[in-house]
Amino acid sequence: MRVPYSDLYAEYHSMKQDIDCAIQKVIESTAFSGGPYVDAFEQEFAAHCDCETAIGVGSGTEALWLTLLAKDIGPGDEVITVANTFVATVEAILMTGAKPVLVDVDERTYNIRPDLIAGAVTSRTKAVIPVHLYGQMADMDAVCEVAYSYGLAVIEDACQAHGAEWRGRRAGSFGNAACFSFYPGKNLGAYGEAGAITTNDMELADKIRQLRSHGQSRRYIHAIKGWNARMDGIQAAILSIKLKRLDIRNAARARNAAFYNDAFNQLKGVITPIQAKHAMHVYHVYCLRTTGRDYALSALKETGIECAIHYPVPIHMQDAYRDLGYSEGDFPTAEICASQALSLPAHPDLTPEQMMYVTEQFTRVHGISERRNVSINSHLPTVK
Ligand SMILES: *Cc1c(COP(=O)(O)O)cnc(C)c1O
């Protein structure tokens, strides 16, 4: 049996007619860049996020970058985020000329530790970017409380958390603004690159709308310096179709995660993902931890099961970001995640047979790894 980590082809086939029709309509109307399909999707997405407005852009990375620019963040400023994230969070900060200041993540949720934020604040700090990693929101009560007490902006990196909730409120509706990615593999994915910002701050939204279209206040009238970061009409039309199915598909991810949790909770040396008290997790990634990670990854590959690692090297240990001045040991939890994290396929298009197969094979492989103690990570702290 083959179990791909994600199956975009199966997803397309489950909604082929609607998607084909939506693409055709955009072509017929030649609304290729921006336009009515982007406007419609923005409204639908804002409503889905319990937000006033949404601004479609070219990618999640652009969403982060433009939001920081719109908050007037630039050279000389600092922005606090986590060591355990996808690189784009840090890239966006650096693109403004500001300096990323990293903090460690929580050992249970893998999200930002709010208790470390105050210690990272300086007179130059302008914003905090909590990343809702793997589809679970950061502790937004605590993050907002500490950030606002220092007068900092809060920008959610919700690129992995479409539809996730904190105390019954959706990702994207906390903080000053939130950034989403519609990279094809995300819970809500385009058929190419796309992203969006959600916010309740209409002034901020106006500024981001100008920034994404060459800083124009009117056509060819450039009020501020901008860029071309518009969303494609075809992507918007596809996203409108897929947004209608997002909640159902997120629920399927959560069911798959619960199935794995039941099967793996009792395995010694495995830490299954935890849903924090006020969180509704949408399992963009089903990430467990095991000291036998490297063995499991390769043994599962041999059985036809494709897994992933999110992420193998934390930001502060990447060659590209040595100049941030951190070193190994600075963020112990992020480093443990890097050596123990294993993401199993949990996408909504998995069949019950595939789920069973992954469960059996992971249990078998983990058993071998425990018995032989083959883990090359055995020098690391044990996980249970
Ligand atoms: C995917 C992702 C991004 C970047 O989104 P793109 O659309 O690929 O530019 C940023 N942050 C996180 C946490 C992500 O997972």
Test site for ligand 1: of 59, 82, 93, 159, most ligand atoms within 8 A of the Cβ: 159
Q: What is the pTM of this model?
A: 0.96
Helix axes 16-29, 233-243, angle to 10 degrees: 150
Please give the pLDDT value at position 381.
53
Q: What is the DSSP letter of 290?
A: E
The yes-or-no verdict on residue 14 having pLDDT over 50 is: yes
pLDDT at position 370 is 87
For the chain, give the mean pLDDT.
96
Contact 93, 79 (CB under 8 A): yes
Q: How many residues does the chain have?
A: 384
Write out pLDDT tens, residues 15-54: 999 999 999 999 999 999 999 999 999 999 999 999 999 9
- The 10s digit of each residue's pLDDT in 126-144 is 999 999 999 999 999 999 9
Angle between helices 60-70 and 88-95 (to 10 degrees): 40
> Which residues does ligand 1 sit against, CB inside 6 Å?
59-61, 85-86, 88-89, 131, 157, 159-160, 181, 183, 195
pLDDT digit string, tens, across residues 198-226: 999 999 999 999 999 999 999 999 999 99
- pLDDT of the residue at 371: 86
> For the segment 336-384, what is each residue's pLDDT rounded down to a tens digit?
999 999 999 999 999 999 999 999 999 999 999 888 764 455 455 554 4
Q: Tell me: the pLDDT tens digits for 59-79?
A: 999 999 999 999 999 999 999
What's the pLDDT at 170?
Answer: 97
Tell me, rounded to whole angstroms, the distance of Cα 50 from its chain centroid: 18
Going from the Cα of 61 to the center of ligand 1, the distance in angstroms, rounded, reads 6
Mean pLDDT in residue range 156-172: 97
* Residue 10 to residue 15: CA distance in whole angstroms: 9
* 82 Cα to the center of ligand 1, angstroms: 14
Six-digit token string for 54? 């949404």
CA–CA separation, 233 vs 239, rounded Å?
10
Query: Percentage of the chain with pLDDT > 70?
Result: 97
Helix, strand or coil, per DSSP, at residue 371: helix
Q: Taking residues 184-207, what's their average pLDDT?
A: 98
pLDDT band for position 293 (cuts 50, 70, 90): very high
Assess contact for 195 and 62: CB atoms under 8 A.
yes
Q: Give the rounded percent of residues in the chain with a pLDDT score beyond 90.
A: 96
Q: What's residue 296's pLDDT?
A: 97
pLDDT of residue 326: 98
Smallest Cα–Cα separation from 166: which of 151, 156, 176? 156
> Which atom of ligand 1 is found nearest the CA of 61?
9
Residue 99 three-state SS: strand
Rounded to an integer, the average pLDDT of 93-101 is 98
